[in-house]
């Protein structure tokens, strides 16, 4: 049975240097950001992936330069496996959105179902590498690194059962009354999967809060919020693009997203964390290594 790994591997790279993959990332951003915004007609279906691959490589390079360690250099094979876990993880939220209809894609009508599935999956594959890479970059910043220990939060068997049951209740309410309970999508998945990971002895965020270390949670939340800003900004002038229909909170838009909607990115990071450790635990038992996500850089 897999055990949560609380001891990250040591860094082996020299900090202070801008690596080659960072130049590649900046180059991809420099090319595909203007193309996604300036060209007319359909272009984002082929330009989204290289643009976000550029983001992933750039934040990874920035972390490597700051700390001498990064997701990509820690284990390249495991890093690229993030792209494969990411697509089915986001399709889960697309499936829930089929009921809530909080967002839809302009330009969807130009693609067959198979074309849409392929291009969408390619784009969705960048979600985990982007969020986890940005979270590690946030973790390297001094205000986060130097955070003092917070309250110790351990989860007992009773709390895990309550969380698990509460997650299914939130999901049921969401599916029955989506117009009122649609925000629950950003909590239900976390509440369901985190106890499952604990019972399977996979890593959870509670492994860190049990030591009073809240830096991983803060790093994940802020890293995802950083990605959210770029997702919404780069989406704004793209085509195809997504637009939102959010009851009650559809005001003060920042790009296409209502301002309060950005709050959903904070718990979404924790859901991705839980999804990664659940999905990767199955393939890890088949011989594939699991990537250690370092969201609490040493002071």
Q: How far apart are CA 19 and CA 298, in angstroms?
A: 22
What are the pLDDT digits (tens) for 54-75? Answer: 999 999 999 999 999 999 999 9
Query: Would strands 241-244 and 253-254 be described as parallel, antiparallel, or unpaired?
Result: unpaired
The mean pLDDT of 235-262, rounded to a whole number, is 95
Tokens of 272: 């991705």
**Percent helix / strand / coil, the chain, rounded to 5:** 65, 5, 30
Residue among 79, 54, 72 at smallest CA distance from 12: 72
pLDDT of residue 244: 97
The percent of residues above 70 in pLDDT, for the chain, comes to: 92
Tokens of 33: 């950001």
pLDDT of residue 284: 64
The percent of residues above 90 in pLDDT, for the chain, comes to: 87
Residue 144 has pLDDT above 80, yes or no: yes
296 pLDDT tier (thresholds 50, 70, 90): confident
Helix (H) or strand (E) holding 59: helix 44-67
Residue 128 has pLDDT above 70, yes or no: yes
Do 195 and 163 touch, CB atoms closer than 8 A? yes
Per-residue b or e along 138-171, where b marks 16 or more CB atoms closer than 10 Å to that residue's CB:
bbbeeebbeeeeeeeeebeeeebeebbebbeebb
User: Phi and psi dihedrals of 46, rounded to 5?
Assistant: -105, -15
pLDDT of residue 288: 59
Residue 289 has pLDDT above 80, yes or no: no
- Of the listed ranges 93-107, 193-207, 271-285, the least confidently predicted one is 271-285
pLDDT of residue 17: 87
Tokens of 161: 């059962």
3-state secondary structure of 113: helix
What are the pLDDT digits (tens) for 187-233? Answer: 999 999 999 999 999 999 999 999 999 999 999 999 999 999 999 99
The mean pLDDT of 33-41, rounded to a whole number, is 95
The angle that helices 265-284 and 215-236 make with each other, rounded to 10 degrees, is 110
Residue 118 has pLDDT above 60, yes or no: yes
pLDDT of residue 108: 96
Residue 4 has pLDDT above 80, yes or no: no
Q: How far apart are CA 72 and CA 25, in angstroms?
A: 13
What are the pLDDT digits (tens) for 147-180? Answer: 999 999 998 999 999 999 999 999 999 999 999 9
- Of the listed ranges 14-23, 105-114, 128-137, 171-180, the least confidently predicted one is 14-23
What are the domain boundaries of the chain? Answer: 20-284
DSSP string, 240-263: SEEEE--SS---SEETTEEGGGGG
């Amino acid at each position: 049975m897999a055990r949560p790994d609380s001891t990250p591997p040591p860094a082996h790279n020299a900090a202070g240097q801008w690596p080659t993959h960072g130049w590649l990332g900046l180059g991809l951003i420099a090319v595909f950001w203007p193309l996604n915004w300036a060209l007319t007609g359909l272009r984002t279906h082929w330009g989204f992936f290289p643009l976000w691959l550029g983001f992933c490589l750039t934040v990874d390079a920035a972390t490597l330069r700051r700390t001498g360690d990064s997701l990509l250099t820690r284990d390249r094979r495991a890093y690229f496996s993030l792209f494969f876990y990411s697509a089915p993880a986001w399709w889960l939220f697309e499936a829930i959105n089929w009921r809530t209809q909080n967002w839809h894609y302009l330009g969807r009508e130009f693609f067959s179902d198979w074309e849409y599935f392929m291009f969408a999956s390619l784009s969705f594959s960048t979600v985990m590498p982007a969020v986890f890479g940005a979270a590690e970059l946030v973790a390297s910043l001094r205000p986060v690194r130097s955070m003092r220990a917070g309250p110790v939060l351990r989860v007992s068997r009773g709390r895990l059962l309550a969380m698990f049951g509460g997650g299914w209740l939130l999901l049921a309410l969401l599916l029955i009354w989506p117009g009122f309970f649609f925000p629950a999508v950003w909590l239900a998945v976390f509440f369901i999967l985190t106890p499952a990971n604990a019972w399977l002895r996979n890593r959870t965020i509670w492994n860190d809060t049990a030591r009073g270390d809240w830096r991983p949670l803060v790093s994940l939340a802020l890293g995802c919020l950083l990605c959210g800003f770029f997702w919404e900004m780069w989406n704004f002038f793209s085509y195809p693009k997504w637009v939102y229909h959010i009851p009650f909170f559809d005001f003060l838009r920042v790009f296409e997203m209502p301002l309060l909607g950005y709050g959903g990115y904070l718990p979404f990071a924790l859901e991705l964390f839980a999804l990664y450790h659940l999905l990767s635990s199955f393939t890890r038992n088949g011989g594939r290594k699991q990537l250690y996500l370092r969201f609490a850089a040493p002071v």
